[in-house]
Chains A and B, each alone.
Chain A
């Protein structure tokens, strides 16, 4: 069964450093998403991406965040200058319109 692949599974970074989280969505999917889950809290929407541009973003997705689909297969989330409160599990997802999202297994980001 097709999967969404995320790398790395765990990343530790120092406060103020830039991190890039990588995702390979399912090949025939057209919509791509990033969500995050702070430990013990709900899963929160960050951004959706369609046709090579952001289609929607939440209040969380401020100027520190950016997304890119650099080569037609990867979908990346960049955090420019990490803060302690960015520590969370980050999930990538892809979908074919409204048929339900397929989520990756997540990247646990720890900012120290």
Chain B
């Protein structure tokens, strides 16, 4: 079975500061990992995904994440926060061995302060 834990339900950063959203996974098989973003009253948009190629994955809007097997982590970062980054961010995992459903973390709300 797969699961993800997102540390911190709410993260607040200043505009221009580093964004770091933490995600740790648990998986009995090699995982595929994803970050989704949800803007207020909108659906889920894929930010980036790790599918066993490069461990450093670049996504949209300047975000990137690094898969660290030794730490079972897939933290999301962005060097410089923008006001438009304020949203809910979800880490998700799926096992690559079969058609198992995508499992989401509880989400982290990112606030950006001017």
Interface residue ranges, A against B (CB under 8 Å): 31, 33, 35, 41-45, 48, 50, 55-56, 58, 91, 93, 97-106
Q: Give complex CA distance A105, B43 in Å.
A: 4
B107: chain A residues at CB < 8 Å are 42-43
Which chain B positions have C-beta within 8 A of A41? 106
Q: Are B32 and A98 in contact (CB under 8 A)?
A: yes
The number of chain B residues with a CB under 8 A from chain A is: 22
- Provide the residues of chain A in CB contact with B103, threshold 8 Å: 45
Contact between B44 and A55, CB atoms less than 8 A apart = no
CA gap between A99 and B45 in the complex, in Å = 14
Contact B44 A43 (CB under 8 A): yes
Q: In the bound complex, how far is the Cα of B103 from the Cα of A56, in angstroms?
A: 13
In contact, A100 and B96 (Cβ under 8 angstroms): no
CB atoms of A100 and B90 under 8 A apart = no
Assuming the contacts A33-B102, A48-B101, asked whether A100 and B43 have C-beta atoms less than 8 A apart, the reply is: no
B101 (CB) vs chain A CBs: closest residue: A45
Chain B 83-114, CB-CB to A under 8 Å as 1, else 0, gives 00000001000101001111111110000000
Tell me the residues in window 16-69 of chain B with beta carbons closer than 8 Å to chain A beta carbons: 32, 34, 36, 42-46, 49, 51
Across the interface, B99 reaches (CB within 8 A) one of A31, A100, A103, namely A31
Contacting pair B51 A98 (CB below 8 A): yes
Write out the residue numbers on chain B whose beta carbons fall within 8 Å of the beta carbon of A97.
99
Given contacts A43-B44, A43-B90, A105-B42, contact A100 B49 (CB under 8 A): yes
Task: Name the residue among B45, B102, B107 with the largest chain A CB count within 10 angstroms.
Answer: B102
